Structure 1
Amino acid sequence: MARPTKALISKSAIIHNFNVVQQFAPHSKNLAIVKANAYGHGSIVVANILNPLVNAFGVSCIEEALEIRNAGVDKPILLLEGVFSKDEIAVAADNDFWIMISNQLQSKWLVESRISKAINVWLKVDTGMHRLGLMNEEAIKVYAELNNSNNVNEGIVLATHFSSADEQDYQDTKIQIQKFKQVQSSLINHLNSDAKIQCSVANSAAIMAWPDSRLEWNRPGFMLYGNSPLLSESNYADKLKPAMTMQSEIISIRSIEKGESVGYNKVWTAERQSKIATVAIGYGDGYPQSAKSGTPTLVNGVIAPLAGKVSMDMITIDVTDISNVSVGATVILWGEGLSVNEVAKCSNTSGYEILARLPNRTPTVLVE
């Protein structure tokens, strides 16, 4: 027997969601984002599923890249944060890793390195996120340095990142697109060339909500895992299928009287005679400790609200209005029928954080 808490990872849902990405932008190439253990879904598992379908992968650092390369993934892998030391450049060259250049120091390291073969480079420009990236004139200078280096392959990709693409009514994304096009135009004028520069600006939210951002390369991440990145309601969200279903089982049921409390600090008190079920999952398994009473779970397809504080290993839910509930019944915490975004909203966090913080204690099980 084993503790019943587990995350079911659907191979068919991941493939379906990638096909949705292609429907939004059929003429773009796709860099699938599998950083942070593929948003908790398992980077090796997801990368192997998508390896025959995508053009390349994106990770945050060289350790993540090596993990999936050593697992047999043969597509190019982009280091989204670039390199953190000069010695990583040789490793990147030997393993067909692409490098995002975000500052002049990274460019200097690359140009000065002695490496086995040239590297594909993406150049990040700062159009308003103000986190990483080069400003206009600085970007033109660094692009020229890289373009003239024998260590860099032809076809440098110009990239940026949006700060607010998830807000469909927010005009900042339009401004960032305009700024990006200005950098692109300035660069073309500087090069005195008619050659087209490949570009990448669209993350999941932009792919879904900002058609002007769907350029040569897109970078789908959150939507690959079946969750909408948009803050407002969207019909597009219905196209996606959750790739992870977090589930556990009821391990105890008890009846309590009106006025009795449940869990730590008595934050939930019964307003009627109630039936309370204890479920084998807690914040030690990745369920958010900040989840408030009333956060939905699903039992027999019916909502059973959280009752009381989340413990390290258990939660308690109100199943008073659900018939035929017994010990051993499956409880869905998020996934099919219950969006992780809804759980996140009740927990003052985001679906991104809940998924990415899934701990090693919670096993993932691949299903078709």
Structure 2
Amino acid sequence: MRPLIATIRLDHLRHNYLLARAAHGGKTLAVLKANGYGHNAVRCAQALADIADGFAVACLEEALQLRAAGVAAPILLLEGVFEAAELAEVERHRLWLVVQSEGQLRMLEGANPAEPFRVWLMLDSGMHREGFLPQHYRAAWQRLRDSGKAESIVKMTHFARADEPGVPMTQAQIEVFDAATAGLPGEESVANSAGMLCHPRARRDWGRAGIVLYGANPLPAGYLQGDALKPVMRLSSRIFGVRELAAGEPVGYGSNFVTERQTRVGLIACGYADGYPRLASSGSPVAVDGRRSRIIGRVSMDMITVDLSDLPEAGIGSEVELWGDAVSINEVAAAAGSISYELLCNIKRAHFAFE
């Protein structure tokens, strides 16, 4: 088989969840949307089943996949429902749901469940993507309570810039949240991954651990020092071709890389069709048999060329780590002008191995 392997270390996943939960100090949902950020949501849920307080997904179909696999823990629908008909499935499968708009609120008011729903009511505290504006939030909360359709109401919001610790917007959003929800009973959920790690005022009843679960630090260098987080996915391939080029020779599409010296080039089985970012071309780090090197030339659809000039022992069959232990996914994302979230979610054609 094509030697592109995404190795998923489930023990690292458990380690990261426990670290995030301890940092938050309260109950914590493990966010498994987008197929567990590309890690296989079912396998991740099963690995966390005995320690997680619950899970969160984007939508109903993701929740139903987990229920079909036997996941019995609470599951929150972060986007809520899109049609009133979905509420029957929410009730049948004992799902929790976010209400973030007037339309969703009306759906609940018009529903006739045998038992009331567990609702998380979203406040727009400044991100302006979803949720009720502060001046409308209290009325929405009152309508939910008066409807009798909500067993409980968790007050929640979402941060726009929690991964930028020096930016005051997060503290401003917390203040907006506290003012808008003052005096309203019920639990609260404010912190995403970055909020859990470095914004103490955001640590409330429920945290929502997303990217931190998978071992990619959401914070800039200097925060969460050392080996606290462990990368869950290790993406690796192997060299299947080697050639020697003289100085002045182009490599790859567009000839945008030209050798400056005699260069030994390795060809590896991975490309943008596999989910590796095309823009992470010349200079993006890799590790060949554990030693760091770099990509040279453009990333092709299913092949990448790497520099073996200073690695005389490397050759056909040598392992190449694209990200994982020797190469941080954040480094690769920076080289591609992207973020670790996107890279992880895009891995599609690799063979997945679970440890």
Distance 1:315 1:292 in 2: 9
Structure 2 counterparts to residues 215-254 of structure 1, below 5 A: 215-236=204-225, 238-254=227-243
- The amino acid that maps onto 1:181 is D
Check 1:237–1:208 CA distance in 2 against 1; reply closer, same or farther (3 A cut): farther
Q: Tell whether the 8 Å contact from 2:138 to 2:181 is kept in structure 1 after alignment.
A: no
Percentage of matched positions with identical amino acids: 38
- The amino acid that maps onto 1:351 is S
| The 10-residue stretch of structure 1 (13-22 or 111-120) with the greater mean CA deviation from structure 2 | 111-120
Query: Over the residues paired in the alignment, what is the CA RMSD in angstroms?
Result: 1.1
Determine the structure 1 residue equivalent to 2:354: 366
Determine the structure 2 residue equivalent to 1:118: 116
- The amino acid that maps onto 2:229 is L
Distance 1:349 1:365 in 2: 25
Determine the structure 2 residue equivalent to 1:193: none
How far did residue 68 of structure 1 move?
Answer: 0.9
Structure 2 counterparts to residues 1-368 of structure 1, below 5 A: 2-26=1-25, 28-154=26-152, 156-185=153-182, 187-188=183-184, 196-236=185-225, 238-359=227-348, 361-367=349-355
How far did residue 117 of structure 1 move?
Answer: 2.2
How far did residue 177 of structure 1 move?
Answer: 0.6
Distance 2:224 2:10 in 1: 23
How far did residue 120 of structure 1 move?
Answer: 0.3
Q: TM-score, normalised by structure 2?
A: 0.98
How far did residue 137 of structure 1 move?
Answer: 3.0
Distance 2:145 2:351 in 1: 46
How far did residue 235 of structure 1 move?
Answer: 3.4
> What does the per-residue CA deviation read over 1:100-159, in whole Å, with 9 as the maximum and x for residues that have no partner?
0001211111121122322100000000000000012311111111112332113x1000
Look up the SS of the partner of 2:70 in the other structure: coil
Distance 2:222 2:274 in 1: 29
Q: TM-score, normalised by structure 1?
A: 0.94
- The amino acid that maps onto 1:66 is L
- The amino acid that maps onto 1:174 is Q
How far did residue 352 of structure 1 move?
Answer: 0.7
Distance 2:22 2:244 in 1: 50
Q: Tell whether the 8 Å contact from 2:24 to 2:197 is kept in structure 1 after alignment.
A: no
Distance 2:89 2:39 in 1: 26
Q: Tell whether the 8 Å contact from 1:78 to 1:99 is kept in structure 2 after alignment.
A: yes
Look up the SS of the partner of 1:117 in the other structure: coil
- The amino acid that maps onto 2:171 is K
Q: How many aligned positions are there?
A: 355
Determine the structure 2 residue equivalent to 1:192: none
Determine the structure 2 residue equivalent to 1:191: none
Long gaps (5+) in structure 1: 189-195
Look up the SS of the partner of 2:333 in the other structure: helix
Look up the SS of the partner of 2:147 in the other structure: coil
Distance 2:102 2:334 in 1: 40
Check 1:221–1:274 CA distance in 2 against 1; reply closer, same or farther (3 A cut): same
Distance 2:270 2:222 in 1: 29
Q: Tell whether the 8 Å contact from 1:90 to 1:116 is kept in structure 2 after alignment.
A: no
Q: Tell whether the 8 Å contact from 1:167 to 1:232 is kept in structure 2 after alignment.
A: no
How far did residue 197 of structure 1 move?
Answer: 2.3
How far did residue 357 of structure 1 move?
Answer: 1.5
How far did residue 237 of structure 1 move?
Answer: 6.0
- The amino acid that maps onto 2:15 is H
Look up the SS of the partner of 1:13 in the other structure: helix
> What does the per-residue CA deviation read over 1:226-277, in whole Å, with 9 as the maximum and x for residues that have no partner?
0101134323463000000000000011111000111111111110001000
Look up the SS of the partner of 2:179 in the other structure: helix
Distance 1:252 1:225 in 2: 32
> What does the per-residue CA deviation read over 1:303-357, in whole Å, with 9 as the maximum and x for residues that have no partner?
1110100011100000110131121111000011211110000001111111111
- The amino acid that maps onto 1:364 is F
Long gaps (5+) in structure 2: none
> What does the per-residue CA deviation read over 1:34-60, in whole Å, with 9 as the maximum and x for residues that have no partner?
000111001111111112111111111
How far did residue 282 of structure 1 move?
Answer: 0.4
Distance 1:112 1:204 in 2: 35
Look up the SS of the partner of 1:159 in the other structure: strand
Q: Tell whether the 8 Å contact from 1:227 to 1:237 is kept in structure 2 after alignment.
A: no
